[in-house]
């Protein structure tokens, strides 16, 4: 048993406790969370920390497969250029080197207080690192094809791959669509029909080029696809903004994460929340700045009472895998955010999306959520500072 005290403990599922004491088993299972004046426990062996204690972070959107591309893609050149450079560099590495990058990326996430990851996979290359069970991984096996004739074959391959990831000791999997500009309506419907009750995700409205392509089949994406000899004549009908097309083909019984949302409007947020009861909005702000040099209108989502979750995206589009750094970026751009709200986005909301709220996300009894110490926090205004850092306690 361990007893740890900090200036403040943020349980997430309830109000912060000043000078609270968190008690947990050696395996991380929460026993109790108490105020010092009301403790039935001995205080002789309490470990005392300066800062804020919170549950481990949930990285709701990552691409472990792209870890070897850190620093290889030009920043702030837009999504079409990002895809072009990614395709040029993605496979210029052998398997042994790639595995080392995966290991280093996982160590980085562990060090930064991440306990669970929603990870996108197109291949089986990350299977060996996930089989070690150091982090919980829900692997989203991503499929794409605009030709309707390819839909059934693509889904079958995705399901075979997802079954491999489902059998890792600490994880689960789903087959999901990549993005509106790479998935036919037929493939989208097949994914939806085969999804049982698993969470789903899709990259959505990340760039102006995506919206232009979906509306008129023109712009930077059309130019890129033509250059790549990628036939986009099968794409869904012209004239639709992506979000309204996509959500009409995804079952409301499933938790669905719309990832990025950099160009989503207030009207679309309201419409989507009214039409999909299990909708989550995933923000990866540092990746948005890296690729498009733009952030989503986060306060619009808050004011519409949206369920927000946080991801890091990949090391191809980010300088680190740190949920805390994502929260800092949001806090700097939108200073009205309370620390309590930020921490909920990064913990309990993500756990609920991945259907892991019985284990992760808050300091409720019998959970095993991980314990993270935030140091150098502004405890007067309850805000994150540039110097704020995360230290894994358990």
The Cβ-side half-sphere exposure at 118, using a 13 Å CA radius, reads 40
Please check the confidence at residue 343 and state whether its pLDDT lies above 70.
yes
105, 131 Cβ separation under 8 angstroms: no
**pLDDT one-digit tens code per residue, 110-125:** 999 999 999 999 999 9
Instruction: For the chain, give the percent of residues with pLDDT over 90.
Output: 90
For residue 126, what are the CA distances in angstroms to 104, 137, 287, 297, 339? 12, 11, 21, 33, 34
Report the alpha-carbon distance of residue 151 to residue 177 in Å, rounded: 11
246, 274 Cβ separation under 8 angstroms: no
**pLDDT (0 to 100) of residue 99:** 96
**pLDDT one-digit tens code per residue, 67-82:** 999 999 999 999 999 9
Please check the confidence at residue 383 and state whether its pLDDT lies above 70.
yes
Mean pLDDT in residue range 255-272: 98
392, 57 Cβ separation under 8 angstroms: no
222, 213 Cβ separation under 8 angstroms: yes
Please tell me the pTM assigned to this model: 0.97
Tokens of 288: 């948005």
Band of the pLDDT at 233, cuts 50, 70, 90?
confident
Report the alpha-carbon distance of residue 204 to residue 211 in Å, rounded: 9
Strands 8-9 and 17-18: antiparallel
Identify the residue whose tokens are 């639709």.
240
Mean pLDDT in residue range 207-215: 94
Those residues whose C-beta lies under 8 Å from the C-beta of residue 315, and which sit 6 or more positions away, are: 66, 67, 68, 69, 70, 105, 321
323, 360 Cβ separation under 8 angstroms: no
Tokens of 218: 């023109």
Secondary-structure percent of the chain, ordered helix, strand, coil, rounded to 5: 35, 20, 45
Band of the pLDDT at 43, cuts 50, 70, 90?
confident
Dihedral (Cα; 283, 287, 291, 292), 10-degree rounding: 40
Band of the pLDDT at 36, cuts 50, 70, 90?
confident
Average pLDDT, the chain: 95
| 3-state SS, residue 239 | coil
Band of the pLDDT at 203, cuts 50, 70, 90?
very high
| 3-state SS, residue 194 | coil
75, 367 Cβ separation under 8 angstroms: no
**Adjacency order of strands within the sheet including 389-392:** 17-18, 8-9, 52-55, 371-375, 389-392
């Amino acid at each position: 048993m361990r007893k740890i005290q900090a200036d403040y403990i943020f349980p997430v599922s309830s109000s912060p406790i000043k000078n609270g004491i968190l008690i947990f088993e050696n395996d991380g299972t929460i026993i109790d969370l108490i105020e010092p004046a009301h403790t039935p426990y001995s205080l002789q062996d309490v470990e005392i920390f300066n800062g804020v204690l919170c549950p481990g972070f949930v990285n709701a959107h990552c691409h472990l497969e792209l870890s070897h591309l850190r620093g290889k893609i030009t920043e702030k050149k837009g999504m079409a250029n990002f895809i072009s450079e990614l395709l040029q560099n993605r496979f210029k590495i052998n398997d042994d080197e790639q595995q080392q990058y995966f290991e280093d990326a996982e160590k980085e996430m562990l060090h930064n207080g991440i306990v669970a990851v929603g990870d996108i996979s197109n291949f089986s290359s990350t299977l060996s690192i996930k089989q070690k069970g150091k982090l919980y991984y829900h692997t989203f096996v991503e499929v794409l094809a605009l030709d309707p004739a390819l839909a059934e074959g693509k889904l079958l391959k995705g399901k075979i791959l997802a079954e491999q990831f489902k059998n890792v000791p600490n994880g689960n999997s789903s087959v999901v669509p990549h993005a509106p500009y790479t998935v036919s309506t037929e493939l989208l419907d097949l994914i939806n029909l085969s999804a049982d009750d698993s969470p789903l995700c899709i990259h959505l409205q990340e760039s102006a080029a995506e919206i232009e392509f979906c509306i008129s089949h023109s712009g930077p994406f059309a130019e890129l696809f033509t250059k790549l000899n990628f036939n986009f004549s099968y794409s869904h009908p012209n004239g639709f903004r992506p979000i309204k097309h996509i959500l009409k083909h995804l079952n409301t019984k499933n938790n669905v994460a719309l990832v990025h949302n950099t160009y989503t409007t207030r009207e679309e947020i309201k419409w989507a929340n009214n039409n999909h009861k299990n909708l989550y909005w995933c923000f990866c702000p540092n990746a948005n700045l890296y690729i498009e040099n733009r952030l989503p209108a986060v306060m619009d989502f808050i004011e519409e009472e949206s369920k927000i979750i946080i991801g890091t995206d990949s090391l191809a589009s980010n300088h680190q895998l740190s949920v805390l750094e994502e929260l800092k970026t949001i806090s700097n751009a939108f200073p009205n955010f309370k620390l309590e709200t930020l921490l909920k986005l990064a913990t309990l909301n993500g756990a609920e999306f991945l259907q892991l709220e019985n284990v992760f996300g808050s300091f409720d009894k019998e959970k095993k959520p991980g314990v993270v110490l935030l140091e150098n926090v502004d405890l007067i205004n309850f805000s994150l500072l540039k110097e704020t850092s995360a230290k894994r306690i358990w």
